[in-house]
Amino acid sequence: MPQVPVTPEAASAPLTRFAITLDRLTTLDLGQRGVAGELHRWAVARQGDGRAFAAAAALAARVQPGHAVLIATGWPDRPHVTPLVAETDGPPGAALLGRGLHLALGAVPVFVVEADLVGAMAAVAEAAGLRALKPAEAVAAAQSRAPLHACAVIALATDLDTARAQATTMFDEFRPAAVIAIEKGGLNPTGHILTSRGDDTTDALAKVPSRSWLEFGVTWPPAE
């Protein structure tokens, strides 16, 4: 029986369906807060369907073995009680994504959290199969012939000016191929970081911007 040639459109159809299904799974509003679905519809209306798959494709195109990827997470959501109580799904999700980027692309995951959460994030990363080392050690481990599956966990300041300076240093030191935020509060137009319930957690959170690190005045690559 003669083979029927497969067109690019037909070949991509299963991936398109998978991408849409993945988006639906990751935006299920199990808590019935009415936020995830609205954000997804907003994104699809402006950028098209298959957002998660598009992000994966962009990472695969940019990240090479040994490249650092900054992953910001951690959200102390009850600072009036203690800064040690934080969201419990962001850090595990960040750890698993970091592990996936490491195994698939050879990336060096560098997790960025509040100072009070460094120990907890390191424990979560190690539970996911990574080895939490100092930043320079994690980068060096990427060149080792013996697999170490290293990552690093670093603190970002809650003070905006200090965080700006740290952001510049991070980009100079790591030259990251990508910056990702997972359940990380960003500054709104009024300079506040609010939970989905509207609680103000500005003072307790590391100042990772809502759009990109360019909001800190950090440009990359730097001007010649």
Going edge to edge, which strands form the sheet with 150-155? 131-133, 150-155, 108-113, 68-72, 178-181
List residues bridging with 111 in a β-sheet.
71, 153
Which amino acid, 126? E
Whole-number pLDDT of residue 210? 43
Cα 131 to Cα 128, 146, 176, 214: the distances in Å are 9, 13, 19, 30
Tell me the helices (H) and strands (E) count for the chain, helix number first: 7, 5
More confident residue, 56 or 220: 56
Span 94-132, pLDDT tens digits: 999 999 999 999 999 999 999 999 999 999 999 999 999
| Average of per-residue pLDDT across 61-75 | 94
pTM: 0.85
Whole-number pLDDT of residue 213? 54
In the numeric block, the tokens 């979560």 are attached to 124
Integer Rg of the chain from CA: 19
Whole-number pLDDT of residue 12? 65
Span 154-212, pLDDT tens digits: 999 999 889 888 888 888 899 999 999 998 888 888 988 888 778 898 999 998 754 44
Indicate if the alpha-carbon torsion angle 36, 38, 39, 41 is positive or negative.
positive
Distance CA 199, CA 146 (A): 47
More confident residue, 220 or 96: 96
